[in-house]
Structure 1
Amino acid sequence: MRGSLVLLVLPLLAANELAAQQLPLPATEFQARRTTLDQRGMLVLGGWALGNVGVSGARYFATEGREKYFHQMNVGWGVVNLALAGSSLWATRRPPAAPTDRATLVRTQLRTENLYLFNAGLDVAYLATGLYLRERAASRPTVRRQQQLRGYGQSLLLQGGFLLAFDGLMFAAHHRHASQRLYPLLSGLQVGPGTVAFTLPIR
């Protein structure tokens, strides 16, 4: 028969000391892999942004009506995404200092995952706004305004759809990385009100 032995050995005041224990994994390697995932993601985002600026920039001058506004919005998105991707890639040129304790590494990892989840929520809002603009266009008094809202709405649907897929895949990649290399190391640690406990398997 297999069970578990829970040792309630530390009060809350000692939690920081526990969190500062040295990591039993090559933290530098883990951090480097996480940076590589971010760099690859920013290259994808940058490529998408360049495509928007190049293609929609050219099409803007060759189209009229709704399509013209669609490409206008795409260019705006492309410029913003290109700036974000470029600044992020520039920031990753200098390798970050590898954390030496679990608490710092876990906080950084969770911050990364939560960032992509938060962005995914914004992407859903972009999609909803795009649908709203397309529906709102029918009630506008002028043809020009109708075309503008339809074009902008269609662009938001395109950009929001891509970004939702992008942020979802980035979250999945980072979470899988941590699930394989980091989170299993925390499986024996439990935190409760006022206590920190180690769970040790017994037979």
Structure 2
Amino acid sequence: MFVQVLIGFMVLLGTWAVVNILLWRTHRNSTGHMAYYWQMNGLWNIVNLSIAVGSIINALVNANSYQNSAATQKFIIWLVAINILADLLYVGIGTWLESRGKKDSNVRYRGYGLSIQLQGAFLFLFDTLLVIGLIISVL
């Protein structure tokens, strides 16, 4: 069950990434802070897609170990839980960047800040639900 939950969530992350990359491409002619917003969304989600694909491959290759090793399961849950703190940091940094961009009339900071806030908030929700799902799967 652990592997299925992990793969299911990675498919969700990959889907989120593909949607954001496609939106970046369709909004490539945006101007002002929105040009930077879509740029950051696209670039951020290239990383998300890489993580999703790599995690799915790793889970499939190591399915036996993931399913039968309590230590491996605890480590993965711990890693995702630590990531929740990083997600909150992303939201904070994004908020600071947006605020700085407004104050200095810097469209790049404002656009990047808005995007980082969105991605951080999504990842916070995603990682929180992933940890809950993984914990339930090992009970």
Q: Same fold by TM (over 0.5)?
A: yes
Aligned residue identity for 1:88:
S
Change (3 A) 1:39 1:75: same
Report how far residue 60 of structure 1 moved: 2.0
Residue equivalent to 2:76: 112
* Matching of residue 132 in structure 1 with residue 96 in structure 2: yes
Instruction: Structure 1: state its 5+ residue gaps.
Output: 1-32, 181-203
**Number of residue pairs the alignment of both structures matches:** 138
Residue 136 of structure 2 is matched in structure 1 by 176
Assess if the C-alpha contact under 8 Å between 2:5 and 2:137 holds in 1. no
Partner of 1:193: none
Identical-pair percentage: 28
Residues 50-78 of structure 1, C-alpha deviations (whole Å, 9 max, x = no match): 001001221022x1001110000000011
Does structure 1 residue 58 correspond to structure 2 residue 26?
yes
Contact 2:65 2:72 in 1 (8 A): no
Q: CA deviation at 1:152?
A: 0.4
Q: Comparing both structures, which one devotes a greater share of its residues to helix?
A: 2
Q: Which residue of 2 aligns with 1:191?
A: none
Measure how far apart 1:113 and its partner are.
1.1
For residues 30-57 of structure 1, the C-alpha deviation after alignment (integer angstroms, 9 at most, x for no partner) is xxx1111111011000000000100122
Matches within 5 A, 1:47-126: 47-61=15-29, 63-98=30-65, 105-126=69-90
Letter in 1 for 2:38: H
Q: Check if 1:43 corresponds to 2:11.
A: yes
**Cα RMSD (Å):** 1.6
Structure 1 CA distance for aligned equivalents of residues 3 and 52 of structure 2: 14
What amino acid is the match of 2:42?
Answer: V
Cα distance between partner residues in 1 of 2:137 and 2:64: 19
Question: Structure 2 residue aligned with 1:149, among 103, 106, 109?
Answer: 109
Rg bigger for which structure?
Answer: 1
TM-score, normalised on structure 1? 0.64
- From the superposition, tell whether residues 57 and 165 of structure 1 become closer, same or farther in structure 2 (CA, over 3 Å): same
Which has more strand, going by share of residues? 1
Structure 2 unaligned segments of length 5 or more: list them: none
**2:27 alignment partner, SS class:** helix
